[in-house]
Amino acid sequence: MKLPRRKFLAGSAALTAGAALGLQSSPAHAQVAFGDMTIDVVSDGFLTLPGSFIFDPMPQDELLPILKTYGQSAEVLTPPCNVTLLRQGDRTILFDVGSGPDFSANSGRLLDSLEALGVAPDDVTDIIFTHAHPDHLWGLLDDFDDPLFPAASYMIGKTEWEYWMDPNTIDTIGGGRTTFAIGAQRRLSMIKDQITLFGDGEEILPGIAARATVGHTPGHMALEVHSGSESVMILGDSIGNDHIAFAKPDWNSGSDQDPETAAKTRTTLMDQLSHEKTRVIGYHLSGNGIGYVDKMADGYAFVAEA
């Protein structure tokens, strides 16, 4: 029997990622339901990063004791990649699409995770990007450079689109991120006729509002999903980890393209989320990324939802 091309690609990606990670065929996920919405947080695997990628700009004498408290190595980071799937009526919505096979050996398993929920690429009706970094965007295309989600419409913040599609970005982004810009332009160009741009504060789909959370990238957006009195904030990378970003949100992080702006954004966002007791989903937060921001005497803490 000859498999359809997309089914073959989905199976190949799952086997490759599963072999690399020693994973079972049905990856764990978390689910949140409110109103007529069902939200699943599914795995795209994880990244392996040098600690210096985040920690280099930070005061080392203060940093190391905090990392020890959290049991976090200063040398190596292995953040999870948590992709959010929302189903409401006839809509199946993805927030970001993971990294695909070309960015990191231990990521790119989104198709496997969706298949475990009975969701095929053809079922996805809408894709909303928080930003255009590789681990959020590069899962957009299949091995033939065709859009992997052929029935989907696409949405991204206007500032984010303009930044990555500017030809000068490749020359100005900095040597360590040049491939980010090349990869983003190539992939976004493939969907330029199907993409809608949005701004801060817009309700971009029923029950989904955009929140500018800039600094990690120039046009980074978080998305607030609400139904009645209930809501959840999909953070993207506006809060990038569950240790130092919470303990010292005002510290500059090497992972942010504009560290000073990102620190201001993060601090303001933490204050709001902790005060309002808003449930959050973080792309790189531990576990399944679902939890709350708790205000502490010094800094904040991530409280994972059981």
Which pTM does this prediction carry?
0.90
Candidates 100, 163, 81, 97; CA nearest to 129 is 97
C-alpha 259/C-alpha 92 separation (Å) is 34
Instruction: Give the model confidence (pLDDT) of 204-260 as tens digits.
Output: 999 999 999 999 999 999 999 999 889 999 999 999 999 999 999 999 999 999 999
Average pLDDT over every residue of 117-139: 98
For residue 90, which phi and psi values (nearest 5 degrees)?
A: -95, 10
Instruction: Give the model confidence (pLDDT) of 34-71 as tens digits.
Output: 889 999 999 999 999 999 999 999 999 999 999 999 99
The pLDDT of residue 21 = 30
As given in the structure block, the two tokens for residue 46 are 């994880």
Gyration radius (Cα) of the chain, Å: 18
pLDDT at position 27 over 80: no
The residues, ordered by sequence, that sit 6+ positions from 32 with a Cβ below 8 Å of its Cβ are: 38, 39, 41, 232, 279, 290
**Domains detected in the chain:** 5-19+29-304 (3.60.15.10)
